[in-house]
Amino acid sequence: NCHNHALGSGGQGELKRIPKPSVDTGAGLERLSAVMQGVTNNYDIDLFRKIVQAAATLAGTEDLTNPSLRVIADHIRACTFLI
């Protein structure tokens, strides 16, 4: 998942070295949060747990392992990027 960002588009299809190369580890906010909170998946981090719990309450279920709740939580997270 590691990507070395050293080249950029120079236009007309050529690649040129960028002035400040970097490395993208793919460790986004959710993945780093999972590591820091000692959980094994993104849906168990505190941010997602609150969304899953709220969705479960609205759906009238107590089964927090229902995959549909994770889909709802993920869609809500994705919607925040639209705002």
Query: pLDDT band at residue 3, thresholds of 50, 70 and 90?
Result: low
CB 24 within 8 A of CB 3: yes
Q: What confidence tens digit (pLDDT) does each residue in 37-67 have?
A: 999 988 999 989 999 999 999 999 999 999 9
CA distances from 80 to 59, 62, 75 (A): 21, 25, 9
The residues facing 11 across adjacent strands are 14
